[in-house]
Chains A and B, each alone.
Chain A
């Protein structure tokens, strides 16, 4: 039986393969199809709901798979975007730091550092940087970035340091208004985290909103100012009407929530003032200590970057 069927199949195959499309076997095939076509059409229509139902499941699964794939792609792209944004910010800050170097901050032996941690506590406006005493960083060194003054070093380890931001309650910076020589002290504004207050301005001062506030570089303690003069701190947001000394509200120029790369000025203004004071002391007679102090003060207040 098997041999018979195989031979029959081979005969059919040979005959079909050998004949022209208009041949007898092709004709039989077409005739069969003509007969079966209505049945096939009916069956096709009858089975359409089944096909659609199964197809719906398949397409749903496929759509879910596509959705998951697109979600993964979206997440990857978002991560990439965030990373690019971070790099862009870093680049911008580095460019700004480079610009800062051009302005003369380079004289203060800046050490670049990356912010590696930020205090989540609103009471402690501090960040941790990855440069420490091994890089020449010392306590009280000013910390800046391209946008202006960031803060000062509070604690130093060998390979890291904690920086108090200018909005930290422990901070007090000798500052002046950009267009005048009136100086005061910038401190965090009580009850408004993130905002500063420039106070103890002479009553004759006429501050305007939008005016820049920069470090004065003058002596603000028994020693000398920690900060080089002319570093941007912020802009006057409003003026407080007070009797006696005047005060203005200052909006910091540095985006403290978005710190990435900073520079620690390891040879600060005070060092320069001291060195100049030392030089003045070595001057010939007639140029006393007070004169040297004045020279140092003048240098500190108008020196590099003004």
Chain B
């Protein structure tokens, strides 16, 4: 693993978290789509988990959650808890399944958005927010999940492009590339 790569990854992650949180607060939260606002934070955490693994995902989720809670004066620790879990499980998905389907980011984004929204709602209810479980709440959750799913593909492309050069070399991917090279007709041996 290149030391330069390892050093630049936290910086890139931090810059991305800060930038996307500011964009979230300054732009995305002020533009309703289908009557709801997209939430970039769970998508960002999920994609970092998907690219970097469970540990980085969990830590990044915790840090991003803390940033969001601090910036928006929310209950401190709430977003941290939820995003930690989101980042961790997305990282575990990569470690266990390593999905490469084209729709993986969309499904992961939708799952992350839906899980974080449900998690928020449950936590708020547990913390004693005096609000009933209504159809409107369910509608909002579904709509935000759909909107997040829609924007997950471009966001995934953005996050991957930003982090790819700083990501540590993954031995499994190296093996996969080698296998593709030897069995997919790219090797001079297979052609001869």
New A-B contacts (8) at CB < 8 Å, excluding given A1-B58, A32-B70: A2-B58, A9-B78, A12-B76, A13-B77, A36-B70, A40-B22, A43-B22, A58-B33
In the complex the two chains form, is B77's CB within 8 Å of A10's CB?
A: yes
A44 with B71, Cβ < 8 A, contacts A5-B62, A6-B84, A13-B78 known:
no
Which segment of B23-31, B133-141, B151-159, B176-184 sits at the interface? B23-31
Contact among B26, B61, B62 with A47 in the assembled complex (CB-CB below 8 Å): B26
Q: Which residues of A are found within 8 Å of B76, using beta-carbon distances?
A: 12-13, 15-16, 25, 28-29
In the complex the two chains form, is A47's CB within 8 Å of B27's CB?
A: yes
Q: Which residues of A are found within 8 Å of B22, using beta-carbon distances?
A: 39-40, 43, 47
A5 with B58, Cβ < 8 A, contacts A16-B75, A17-B75, A47-B26 known:
yes
- B residues with a Cβ closer than 8 A to A are 22-23, 25-27, 30-33, 54-55, 58-59, 61-62, 65-66, 69-71, 73, 75-78, 80-81, 84-85, 88, 127
Q: Which residues of A are found within 8 Å of B30, using beta-carbon distances?
A: 51, 55
User: Whose C-beta in chain B lies nearest to the C-beta of A47?
Assistant: B26
Which residues 1-37 of A have a CB within 8 angstroms of B?
Answer: 1-2, 5-6, 8-17, 25, 28-30, 32-33, 36
In the complex the two chains form, is B75's CB within 8 Å of A9's CB?
A: no
Is A50 interfacial (CB 8 A cutoff)?
A: yes
Contact among B31, B71, B75 with A54 in the assembled complex (CB-CB below 8 Å): B31
We find that the number of chain A residues with CB closer than 8 angstroms to chain B is 31
Write 26 A-B pairs (CB below 8 A) sorted by A numbering: A2-B54, A2-B58, A2-B85, A9-B65, A9-B84, A12-B66, A12-B76, A13-B76, A13-B77, A13-B78, A16-B76, A17-B127, A28-B70, A29-B69, A33-B70, A33-B71, A40-B71, A43-B22, A44-B25, A47-B22, A47-B23, A51-B26, A51-B31, A54-B27, A54-B31, A55-B30
Q: Which residues of B are found within 8 Å of A47, using beta-carbon distances?
A: 22-23, 26-27
A1 with B23, Cβ < 8 A, contacts A11-B77, A17-B127, A29-B76 known:
no
Q: Which residues of B are found within 8 Å of A14, using beta-carbon distances?
A: 77
- Shortest B81–chain A CB gap in Å is 4
User: Which 4 A-B pairs have CB atoms at the shortest separation, nearest pair first?
Assistant: A12-B77, A13-B77, A9-B81, A16-B76
